Structures are given as structure tokens and as C-alpha cells.
A and B are shown apart, each in its own frame.
Chain A
Amino acid sequence: MFKYFPHTKADIESMLKTLNISSIDELFKDVPESVIFNSDYDVPSFMSESELRNHFAELSKKNQELTLFSGLGIYDHYQPAVIDAVTSRQEFMTSYTPYQPEISQGTLQYIFEYQSMIQTLTGLEVSNASMYDGTTATAEACFMACAVAKRNKILISSTLNPNTVNVIKTYLKYKELEWDFIAEKDGVVDIEDLKNKLDKDVAGVVVQKPNFYGIIEDYEGFADLIKANKSLFIVNADISTLGVLKSPKEDGADIACGECQSLGMPVAFGGPSLGYLATEKTYVRKMPGRICGYTHDLEGRRAFVLTLQAREQHIRRSKANSNICSNQSLMALFATIYLSLMGKNGLREVNNLSYQGAHYLYEKLLKTKKFTDPFKKPFLKEFTLETNIPKEAIQTALLEKGIFGGIGLDVFGEQYEGLINFSVTEKRTKAEIDNLVNILEGLS
């Protein structure tokens, strides 16, 4: 016997008898003999629970937990204990997509609440139930823009995180759509270059704030230009920063999208995290993913259901705009609980504390004279500096003290040579920051 298989010998015999057969193998008679797998799998033998725990204890030793001054899309923010307590409830964790609303109100209601929170943070009218991550959400936003504008070109700001750019490029390339880059000027997207490149093929323009360098871009004038060209304006923003920054709606965006990992999710080696996508109701029929709507049941009780499903793959099949089916529902619950706990004041405080720490570190690093700021632009929780110290020296010196930070941006491409990133969340203490500065001060 094995703990996950309840089949006793007697059960099996009685079931086989009902089926009038003598062995389970007979059920596989449709499988051609030539493809039956008769050998043993070349995978390890089973493990008891305590063996597994020991095994993971060994594996854990090969990982190093570090004090994180690293960001670039994945941030080390505080995760309230309540989140794990709630998300590990089996009612949320083990249920399927809420196809049967009568027994799925828990999931449907938090999706509605999640959508409400994304709505207020982005300022746009409608959020979907979730996307896989910030990069794929942005790629899907590009598809959406092409479907709405009935055009086939996307303009991508050069100040987007290269991970997002790469994913957009892959998606567009295979869908046989086009793209071009809007140049950057002094670390921000260049509006003059945008003017030059807006033509009648452009379906959408994608920008990011805070951008890859951590700079908070200002999109004054963008929406007017883009709308005049009948294109859609897509703003990618780390959702947590929208607690204080101008909302995409206030920027004049038609679609907002990006990463939600900063809302109470662990860094988790990059996943699972959560992507969001929001737009105005005019475009909702071209929106990817599930959408939850408010309604009532037969007896007039408040109820939530998945709605406008005629957009989705299971109904529209080859005519659907997106193929997304399973998304990141449980991570949307992380975000919903986090935002419920934080409220508008908590979110503001998180941003302010991160801002304070980042600016303290920034000033200290400049004072060492070993770092310079090539951009001198406003930033929030992360920033980019230039240095002559080899990035390997920085990394090694920090790792020795259990710190990860000062990421050389050239891991994303050689055009970033000499630039390094620091990110500070509310979790970083003064002692940790001072220690970081001390270590770096000693390098040359």
C-alpha cells in the first residue's frame, strides 16, 4: 500500500470483478503493444516523509539566504503572517477555477475584491482576474492593443525591463506582429523619438514606470500624442508603487499592466508571482483572461460569477484573443489580503519607508565618490549608479557578508556595462544599509 492510493487488494479484486476482467492491464487493450512501457522508470525510489525532510535539509544547505538589496521587478517586501494563514486554507488552495459559482463564492468574491483593488490603483475601469506575471501581462496588453486598433505594430520604450522586452518580442514575433523601440534620453523614454515613430501602423505604445533604472518617468503629453494617432497607451507599473505614484489613468493610459509580486509575495526564485491587466470598459471585450462580475442568486442573495466568457478560449477557440486558461488565482488572493491589511495608509507607508531607505543609501554611496548618478532623475525604491569598481568585486565582497545587491545591469545586455542597481524596501534596516556602504567604501 501507499499513502496516496487507498486501493486494497480486496477493492481491486471486487472492481475487476464488476468489470469482468482479471487484471487492470486489460483496460489498456487499446494501447498498441509496441508503445507499452514495460521497464522501470529511471527515477529514484520512493522516500518516506522524514527522508524527504532530510533530503530538503541537505538541498537547503546548497542555497544561501541573503540580505536582499536586489530588485529589478522582484522585491523583498514584508509579508504579513496573515497571508500564509489564509492562502494555505484548503478551500482556497485546492479548489479549481470557479466554474460552479454555488460552491465557489470564496474564490469568486476575492477575485472581485482583487479586481476592485487593481481598479482603484490603476484608476482604470476593469481589471481581469490575473495574468501569469508582469512580462506576459504586458505581452498580452500588446496583443490587446493590436486587436482593438486593428493595427500590427507596437512601440516599446527602451527603458522597459529587458525581461519584459524579451517576452513581448517573443510573443509579437510568433504572432507575426511588428515592433520598434522608442529611444531613451538621459534614462527616460524620449518623447521626441515617440513623435517620429508614431505612424498609422502603431497599435500601442508601451512604457514603464518606475522604469528599468528605477526612474519615475513623467508621461506629460504622451497620451495626447498617442490618442491623436489612434493608438493605445500601455503603462507598465509595479503595482505597489501606484499606492503613491500617479495612476496609469492619470497618465492617460488605455491599458495598465505589470507585476504584483510586491504585494505580499515571497521573491520565490522568481515565481509564482502575479501579473495584472486593467483597461477601460470600452475595450473589455478584447481583454484576455477571466473576469468576475457582481450578480445575485435565485433568492436575491449577493453573488459573484465569471462573466463575459464569450471572449475566452473555451468558447471562442481559434477566434479568442488570448489562450490563457489557468492563471495565478491564489496569488491574486495574496495581493487581496495584503492590500486589505495595508489599506491606503499602509501602502503609502511602505512606499515612503522604501523611498527613505533608498535615498539614504543613494546619498551615502554618492558621498563615497566611488559612485556617480548618470541620470539624476527622481526614483522611488531602486536606483542605478555608475562605477568603475568591477561588478565582480562588488558582488564578491557583498556575498562574503551575506548580502546580495549592486546588480550589474550588464547581465541584461552589454549596453548597460558599468551600471549597477540597488533596491531598498522597508525591510532593510539602517544597520544593514550602513554595513553595505562600509563594504563598498573599502573597494576600488
Chain B
Amino acid sequence: MINYNKMIFELSNSERIGYSLPREKFSEFHINQLSDNLLRKKELLLPEVSELDVLRHFTNISIKNFGVENGFYPLGSCTMKYNPKINEEMAANKAFSNLHPLQPTSTTQGALEVYYNLQTYLSELSGLHEFSINPYAGAHGELVGLMVIKAYHEDRGDFKRKKIIIPDSAHGTNPASTVVCGMDVVEIESNELGRVDLKKLKAVLNDEIAGMMLTNPNTLGIFENDICEITKLIHEAGGLMYYDGANLNALLGKVRPGDMGFDVMHINLHKTFSTPHGGGGPGSGPVGVTETLAKYLPNPRIKKLDDYYFVENSSTALGQISSYFGNYLVALRAYTYIRTLGKENLKLVGPYATLNANYISKALRTAYELPIKGYCMHEVVFNGLINKDNDVRTLDIAKRLLDFGMHAPTVYFPLLFPQAIMIEPTETESKETIDDFINVMHKIAIEAKEDPDKLKQAPTKTPIRRTDEVFAAKMMIFSYKDYLEYINNRG
């Protein structure tokens, strides 16, 4: 029922229930024995519905969503690859999901082994010495990685180094994480090829630089070919190199961040290592560091001694950044993925992803403006249509794609091009799917010329059409309670 439009609260009918709880065992006790001043007075506004009501409700709203199994999902920077079913089966294993995090390690050796081995696999795949899987997402990994950098400088008694260099093409989390970590951002403009401008980089180097954050390939999908020079410059200036691993997928099988001179990095397991995005999490953002920096990794740490895995809290650690071991079951999925592919197939991820992206780049550049020529890596960024006559914008192209049963690419990011449209196909897409996408994109380019209104009106075949965002921001209806008040006031 694609037209289904109820909120769960609107199905409510008092006395209906959707649960079955054990019967009372100890009736001599009752919550009402707590003194009145500790108990809630205000009635709760929660639905009262049957089990089937709940299932129908969520099933009906689910079909208004678009998932990776619905169709092509070329959302740049997000690496929307296939999320394998076997990962889910393993994560549902009660022998893991029923473990309490405080259980003695003698009862959790299997779980710790998975965590420990994932640490070592990530080290091997990225060329860094040691990982912590505690950070909950990419941005959390950035924050923790920057804490490592800050801890390192302060440990040396160098309290001046509080500036992090970040290219203007960087993801918003990079500057935000820097400030949350109590440091300042030095933004540098990219050169005309979309890369780090070495001259500009040199100009900002001094003894206040703590390090530099870089994505490579950068957010334009371009490999920073001066990477060795960049890391050398930063290291000579006394800084450390941070690698934003959001784009690691391009490099699997080809290049390891550690080998490029990076000292600290995070990996988005929910991108490169195939764990599902869950409509915005839970992800996982393991942080890897060089040997010198390993002592700063956050507590708790998982270590191994003579085939026994144990939990360690170290006094040299930067501190604790999560309640326990991060999003453990997400890590377990990534472990499953690595074991499924093995060293043989992991090597093919970057090359196939890159082949797919370049094939798209080549096929679309006759209709879409390709601001940076040459080969891209795992994703390609266009700056809208070449023909900008009818005021057809990137937003219109994105919305029209939805009508063709494809997810839109990432739009208006990176900020370097006003009509940026960022396409990342990933290695799990077939040539047929990509050819379909290319055809649709060309069809849209023709529509832009011949029938621009069709694009301005798009989408028309989706569960809803374009939304009134101004209304949402102005009315601030954030809950069912707000909604009821709004309806009442409207009369």
C-alpha cells in the first residue's frame, strides 16, 4: 500500500496490546511501593496497538523506502555496495548477540577473537600498525584519530600544535571533528585539478601545525598524485597525516594508506566493508595508527597473549570514547565480509570499483560537464549538464532519476563545483546496471533540452513528490504531540 499514510499513533485503540510478558511472580512487591515523588505524573502518549497492526504499519512504511536491493544506488562517498546476507546471518547468532559486555573474558573468547582478528586484518589491509574498533562511525573515528594526534603532540610537551590543515574539498565532518577536538582548521584551496595545491600547502606550514586530514582519492574521486610529497612536507613540519578512510574502497587491492605515509586513519566499515547503512547507522569507524601512536588508542583495548584474548585498560590511552567495544555486531559483519572475500577477492574490490566509475565517467562526459579530466578512481564528480540553457539543475536531475527507479547520486558535494553530482557505482554493480544508468542519464539530458518542465516537476512516480522544507523548518513539528497541537490550532 504505497498510499498508506497513517502514523502509528493514529492506529491506537486503548486496551489493545502488542506484547506478551511473563505473568507476575512476586505480587508482594509492586512499583507503586515507590514513593510518589519518584513516579511520573504525566500520562504517556504511546500507541496501543496489536502485533499485526505494528507489522502492517512498518511494512507499509518500509515500501516507501529505497534500499540497495531495490536498485542502483550510486550515492557518491557512501559506497552503497551490496550488503551480504551471510553477514546478517552471522550477526544474528545468539552465541554472540547474547553476550553481556562485562562477562569474564573466559566466556567471550570467540567474540574477542573476532574483534582481535578484525583489528589485524584492518592493519594488514591499510598498512597501519594497530586498530581500535571502538569508534561508532566515520565521524567518531575522525574525532578519536584527532585525539590521538593531539595526545601525541602534548605528550612531547608541544602544546602549540593545534592547527589541522584540511582541503576545501573535504567532507564537513573533517572540520567539525577538528573543532570538537579543540583544534583549529586551516583550510587550503584546491588547485585547478581538484588536488592539494603544494604551494598553498607550503605557505601554511609552521610549528603550530598538528597535522593534516586528507581523503585519498579525494572527494572528487581523484587520486592525490603528490601524496608522497604531501606527507613528506607535513612530517618535516612536525605534523601527522590523518587519512579519512571514507574512500578506501578505491584502494583495496592497490594502495595502503600506511604506505602513503599516513599516521592515523579511520575506516567506515559501513562503506568499504559492506555493513548495511541502516538508514543512517549503526556504522563503525575503526581507527588505525602507526606503532609510535598505538599507545594512545582508546580504552578498552583487546589484546592477545598466547592464544588468550583479554581486555586491557591502559594508562597511556587517550581515554574512553564508547561504553564498551563500539558497534560490535557491525564489526562482526565486516569480519564475515573479509573472511568471505579472502585475500584473493579483496584485491579486486578497488580495481572493479574504479573500472565501473571510469566507464560511467567516459560515457556521460558528452552530456555532463566533467570539470576534472583524466581518470577518476572509484567515483566521478560532474558539474551538472554541459548545456545549462534551461536552468535545469543538479537537483532536478537527481529527482528525475528517482522516477526511473534509481537512487540519486550525492548532490552539491563536494563544495568545489556549484552543481556537483557525485556518482559512485561500487564493484558490486554489473555492466548491464551501469549501462541502464548511463542510458537514463542521457535520456534526462535530452529531456532537459526538450521538456525541462518534466525535470522541474520530478519526481512524479515516487510515493511522495518534492517536499516543503521551508514549512518544516518554520513550523518545527518534531513529534506527534506537536502535530496534534498544530492540527488543533489550525482548527
Pairwise interchain contact A74-B93, C-beta atoms closer than 8 A = no
Q: Is A36 an interface residue (CB 8 A)?
A: yes
**Interface 0/1 of B17-40, CB less than 8 Å to A:** 111011011111111001101111
Alpha-carbon distance between A341 and B7 when the two chains are bound, in angstroms? 14
Task: Please report which residues of chain A, range 370-428, place their CB below 8 angstroms from some CB of chain B when the two chains form the complex.
Answer: 378, 380, 395, 399, 404, 407, 411, 426-427
Task: Please report which residues of chain A, range 277-312, place their CB below 8 angstroms from some CB of chain B when the two chains form the complex.
Answer: 281, 284, 290-299, 301-303, 305, 307-308, 312
Q: Is A184 an interface residue (CB 8 A)?
A: no
Alpha-carbon distance between A291 and B280 when the two chains are bound, in angstroms? 12
**Interface 0/1 of A113-139, CB less than 8 Å to B:** 101110111010111011011111000
Pairwise interchain contact A271-B185, C-beta atoms closer than 8 A = no
Pairwise interchain contact B136-A271, C-beta atoms closer than 8 A = yes
Q: Is A246 an interface residue (CB 8 A)?
A: yes
Pairwise interchain contact B181-A246, C-beta atoms closer than 8 A = no
Nearest-Cβ distance from residue B441 to partner chain A, whole angstroms:
15
Alpha-carbon distance between A89 and B60 when the two chains are bound, in angstroms? 11
Pairwise interchain contact B100-A271, C-beta atoms closer than 8 A = no
- Residues of B near A435 (CB, < 8 A) are none
Alpha-carbon distance between A78 and B320 when the two chains are bound, in angstroms? 29
Tell me the nearest residue of chain A to B81, going by C-beta: A4
Pairwise interchain contact A78-B464, C-beta atoms closer than 8 A = no
Pairwise interchain contact B175-A43, C-beta atoms closer than 8 A = no
Query: Given the known A-B contacts A56-B90, A110-B58, are A347 and B44 also in contact in the complex, defined by CB atoms under 8 Å?
Result: yes
- Residues of A near B75 (CB, < 8 A) are 96, 99
Pairwise interchain contact B478-A126, C-beta atoms closer than 8 A = yes
Q: Is B418 an interface residue (CB 8 A)?
A: no
Task: Please report which residues of chain A, range 299-344, place their CB below 8 angstroms from some CB of chain B when the two chains form the complex.
Answer: 299, 301-303, 305, 307-308, 312-320, 322-331, 333, 336-337, 339-344
Which size bracket describes the interface of B in this complex?
Answer: 35 or more
Q: Is B314 an interface residue (CB 8 A)?
A: no
Pairwise interchain contact A271-B354, C-beta atoms closer than 8 A = no
- Residues of A near B69 (CB, < 8 A) are 90, 94
Partner of B431, one of A14, A74, A98, A167: A14
**Interface 0/1 of B471-491, CB less than 8 Å to A:** 111011111111100100000
Pairwise interchain contact A43-B65, C-beta atoms closer than 8 A = no
Q: Is A100 an interface residue (CB 8 A)?
A: yes
Pairwise interchain contact A96-B73, C-beta atoms closer than 8 A = yes
Among A30, A305, A333, chain B packs the most CB atoms within 10 A around the CB of A30
**Interface 0/1 of B82-112, CB less than 8 Å to A:** 1110101110111111111111101111110
Query: Given the known A-B contacts A11-B430, A59-B113, A352-B31, are A41 and B346 also in contact in the complex, defined by CB atoms under 8 Å?
Result: yes
Query: Given the known A-B contacts A47-B342, A120-B44, A120-B481, are A106 and B280 also in contact in the complex, defined by CB atoms under 8 Å?
Result: no
- Residues of B near A92 (CB, < 8 A) are 62, 65, 67, 278-279
Nearest-Cβ distance from residue B98 to partner chain A, whole angstroms:
5
Alpha-carbon distance between A36 and B225 when the two chains are bound, in angstroms? 12
Pairwise interchain contact A343-B150, C-beta atoms closer than 8 A = no
Alpha-carbon distance between A132 and B143 when the two chains are bound, in angstroms? 13
Partner of A45, one of B127, B281, B343, B428: B343
Total residues of chain A contacting the partner, CB 8 A: 202
Of the listed stretches B197-205, B324-332, B382-390, chain A binds B324-332
Pairwise interchain contact B8-A113, C-beta atoms closer than 8 A = yes
Pairwise interchain contact B51-A82, C-beta atoms closer than 8 A = yes
Task: Please report which residues of chain B, range 327-381, place their CB below 8 angstroms from some CB of chain A when the two chains form the complex.
Answer: 327-330, 336, 338-348, 351-352, 354-356, 358-359, 362-363, 374-375, 377
Q: Is A12 an interface residue (CB 8 A)?
A: yes
Partner of B138, one of A52, A216, A326: A326
Tell me the nearest residue of chain A to B429, going by C-beta: A6
Partner of B103, one of A70, A104, A343: A70
Query: Given the known A-B contacts A167-B321, A247-B42, A329-B278, are A59 and B110 also in contact in the complex, defined by CB atoms under 8 Å?
Result: yes
Pairwise interchain contact B108-A326, C-beta atoms closer than 8 A = no
Alpha-carbon distance between A85 and B315 when the two chains are bound, in angstroms? 43
Q: Is A88 an interface residue (CB 8 A)?
A: yes
Of the listed stretches B235-243, B249-257, B287-295, B443-451, chain A binds B249-257
Task: Please report which residues of chain A, range 166-204, place their CB below 8 angstroms from some CB of chain B when the two chains form the complex.
Answer: 166-167, 169-171, 173-176
Alpha-carbon distance between A125 and B429 when the two chains are bound, in angstroms? 44
Nearest-Cβ distance from residue A114 to partner chain B, whole angstroms:
10
Task: Please report which residues of chain A, range 54-76, place their CB below 8 angstroms from some CB of chain B when the two chains form the complex.
Answer: 55-56, 59-66, 68, 70, 72-74, 76
Pairwise interchain contact A330-B282, C-beta atoms closer than 8 A = yes
Query: Given the known A-B contacts A96-B280, A293-B476, are A325 and B173 also in contact in the complex, defined by CB atoms under 8 Å?
Result: yes
Pairwise interchain contact B179-A103, C-beta atoms closer than 8 A = no
Pairwise interchain contact B180-A63, C-beta atoms closer than 8 A = no
Partner of B100, one of A5, A74, A328, A359: A74
Alpha-carbon distance between A296 and B465 when the two chains are bound, in angstroms? 9
Pairwise interchain contact B40-A244, C-beta atoms closer than 8 A = yes
Pairwise interchain contact A343-B46, C-beta atoms closer than 8 A = yes
Alpha-carbon distance between A404 and B70 when the two chains are bound, in angstroms? 43
Alpha-carbon distance between A69 and B79 when the two chains are bound, in angstroms? 41
**Interface 0/1 of B289-314, CB less than 8 Å to A:** 00000000011000000000000000
The 5 A-B pairs of least Cβ separation, nearest first, read A46-B342, A270-B324, A330-B278, A270-B101, A170-B319
A-B CB contact pairs (8 Å), 21 listed:
A2-B345, A2-B348, A15-B431, A31-B254, A46-B341, A66-B103, A93-B278, A95-B279, A104-B65, A116-B479, A121-B44, A174-B318, A246-B39, A269-B97, A270-B325, A296-B471, A299-B465, A324-B137, A346-B17, A355-B31, A404-B103
